[in-house]
Amino acid sequence: MKIFSAEQLHQADKVTTKKHEITSLDLMERAGSQIFNWLHQRLQGAPVPIHIFCGIGNNGGDGLVVGRLLIENGYSVTIYVANFTDKRSKCFLVNYDKVKSISKKWPVLMTSEEDFPQINKKDIVIDALFGIGLNRSPEGWVKKLIQHINTSESFTLSIDMPSGMYADTATEDFDAVVEANHVLTFQAPKFSFFLPETGKYAPYFEALDIGLDPEFLHTTEPLAQLILKPQAQQFYRQRKKYDHKGTFGHALIIAGSYGKMGAAILSSKAAFRIGAGLVTCFVPECGYQIVQTAIPEAMTLTDKEDDLITNIEFDIEVAAIGVGMGIGTKKETVAALQKLFSEAKAPMVIDADALNCISENESLLKVLPKQSVLTPHPGELKRLIGDWKNDFDKIEKTKKFSEKYEVVVLIKGANTMTIFGDMVYINSTGNPGMATAGSGDVLSGVITGLLSQGYDPLLASVFGVYLHGSAGNIVSQQISFEAVMASDIADTLGDAYIELFAKDPVPGGEQQQ
């Protein structure tokens, strides 16, 4: 699913009204009706007090449409207009008059703090103050109004955006953002819904199709792609009857050091579970028995050193390499990586300590194999690309790094992003149960296993992140977020494949974060 900028959505609005010969007013009516239907279906006429706070732009206009439809259907509604300027939009004004015509009373005009109503905890708030037209942070009494809504603790439904937050640039004042409980957003979710700094203001959201011009949407290059089940299904490659283990490649996992052999095991197990034909695990000598015992299916090669990796020698032909999990950052290991990066031919996943070695040794950057997949968590990313001012800056810096070294870079966490040059793919699966030791090692094994089966580096990353998160979702539903251990995620990868083609109980349910 495409994620568009505010500018592109404004453009889509214009193209749609022109091409489809409908007015902006029709579009607003369509948008407002969808919000009303959503509420009506859930409230079923309940007499709960509903407070609708409208701005003076088209987001406020949407709020007025919803208010009118709720009043017409007998709900107990009060509409307030935050009258911070006289520059009201045309569609706002028309709908303002329509409210008067059906309810015989004008919405309540607010011009200062004194006009704020009391909002009880059990009331419902509809936030239609600002949408994608926000052009500066709310200030003065409007900011206070937002804080008044937030302190009410009532259920808050934001229309299109939590007011005070931008769709695709950094939010400046987090104290001036509506803390929505739910957001009904038009056409497509906004980029800021997926980022750690701003995503928490839109914890649950649904995209409502308001029929913007399909051709425009189809031909417009988006800011990012959201990877949902339909996209992930297309990535899957079916096995054929006469395929054999050679078809699915030989994955080499180079991992582990004294006390950290589990990283090698988790990663190798995941490479198998995702479908690699053969897996060899290269570990320090002390890991030999551990690996052989823990994963009898894997072959084991060892370094000549007992407790760390110093020289990566192998005479097998490998289809993919995953390196770095639990290897430490000693200078002997850095030297081993220098040789591996310079000589290895197979596509590579570079994770964990290998990334830390790169951050500490510029010489490794010079030999970083092109088309590699780098899988840092935020701490490792910071060491790699330097600090960032905000989430958007982080993405821009990661894009530059990816472009400069021609590598795929992940930004791991909730909604892991896969970045390749200018392209951004946002993952929709995963949950906080996955914030547990070793889950990143499982992911590196997953991507290595997909590379070994012939998926290209970008596809292996985007698909691997999706399946890894899906396995995390399935297993956490079975045993709780708290109980999930990384090995559970590895063991559930098979269910993630099966789930890929299972019928969804809630159509599009994944979109709700």
Ligand X SMILES: Nc1ncnc2c1ncn2[C@@H]1O[C@H](COP(=O)(O)OP(=O)(O)O)[C@@H](O)[C@H]1O
C-alpha span between 83 and 56 (Å, rounded):
7
- Residue number, 441 or 510, with CB nearest to ligand X: 441
Is 412 annotated in a binding site? The answer is yes
DSSP string covering 160-205, please?
SS-TT--SSS--S-GGGS---SEEEEESS--GGGGSHHHHTTSSSE
The residue within the footprint of ligand NAX, chosen from 1, 3, 9, 79 (CB under 6 A), is 9
Decide which of ligand X, ligand NAX, K ion, none touches 158; Cβ closer than 5 to 8 Å per partner kind. K ion
Stretch that binds ligand X, among 118-126, 138-146, 329-337, 409-417 (CB under 6 A): 409-417
Residues 495, 499, 504: CA angle, nearest 5 degrees: 150
Q: Where are the alpha helices (DSSP H) in 316-456?
A: 331-343, 352-360, 362-366, 378-385, 391-405, 439-452
- The yes or no reply on residue 326 touching ligand X (CB under 6 A) is no
CA distances from 143 to 6, 67, 129, 146, 176 (A): 22, 23, 11, 5, 5
Decide which of ligand X, ligand NAX, K ion, none touches 435; Cβ closer than 5 to 8 Å per partner kind. ligand X
CB of 180 to K ion, least distance (A): 8
Decide which of ligand X, ligand NAX, K ion, none touches 9; Cβ closer than 5 to 8 Å per partner kind. ligand NAX
- Residue number, 135 or 238, with CB nearest to ligand NAX: 135
Residues 93, 95, 96: CA angle, nearest 5 degrees: 60
Handedness of CA 300, 301, 302, 303 (dihedral sign): negative
- Residue number, 6 or 411, with CB nearest to ligand NAX: 6
Decide which of K ion, ligand NAX, ligand X, none touches 430; Cβ closer than 5 to 8 Å per partner kind. ligand X
Decide which of ligand X, K ion, ligand NAX, none touches 163; Cβ closer than 5 to 8 Å per partner kind. K ion
Handedness of CA 386, 387, 388, 394 (dihedral sign): positive
Residues 23, 27, 32: CA angle, nearest 5 degrees: 140
The residue within the footprint of ligand X, chosen from 150, 178, 412, 426 (CB under 6 A), is 412
Is 257 annotated in a binding site? The answer is no
C-alpha span between 150 and 165 (Å, rounded):
14
Stretch that binds ligand X, among 124-132, 216-224, 429-437, 452-460 (CB under 6 A): 429-437
CA distances from 264 to 459, 483, 486 (A): 23, 22, 12
Residues 455, 435, 283: CA angle, nearest 5 degrees: 60
C-alpha span between 237 and 164 (Å, rounded):
43
Is 132 annotated in a binding site? The answer is yes
C-alpha span between 33 and 27 (Å, rounded):
10
Per-residue x/- track, 79-118, K ion (CB under 5 A):
----------------------------------------
Report 360-379 residues binding ligand X (CB under 6 A). 377
- The yes or no reply on residue 246 touching ligand X (CB under 6 A) is no
Is 136 annotated in a binding site? The answer is yes
- The yes or no reply on residue 513 touching ligand X (CB under 6 A) is no
- The yes or no reply on residue 163 touching K ion (CB under 5 A) is yes
CB of 166 to K ion, least distance (A): 12
For tokens 């994608």, the residue is 132
Decide which of K ion, ligand NAX, ligand X, none touches 437; Cβ closer than 5 to 8 Å per partner kind. ligand X
- The yes or no reply on residue 137 touching ligand NAX (CB under 6 A) is yes
Whose CA is closest to 243, among 291, 203, 277, 278?
Answer: 277
As a whole number of angstroms, the longest Cα–Cα distance in the chain is 87
- The yes or no reply on residue 159 touching ligand NAX (CB under 6 A) is yes
Decide which of K ion, ligand X, ligand NAX, none touches 189; Cβ closer than 5 to 8 Å per partner kind. none
Stretch that binds ligand X, among 231-239, 355-363, 394-402, 438-446 (CB under 6 A): 438-446
- The yes or no reply on residue 31 touching ligand NAX (CB under 6 A) is yes
Stretch that binds ligand X, among 291-299, 309-317, 342-350, 411-419 (CB under 6 A): 411-419
The residue within the footprint of ligand X, chosen from 63, 131, 249, 438 (CB under 6 A), is 438
Decide which of ligand X, ligand NAX, K ion, none touches 138; Cβ closer than 5 to 8 Å per partner kind. ligand NAX
Q: 287 and 304 in contact (C-beta within 8 Å)? A: no
For the record, the structure tokens of 292 come out as 């052989």
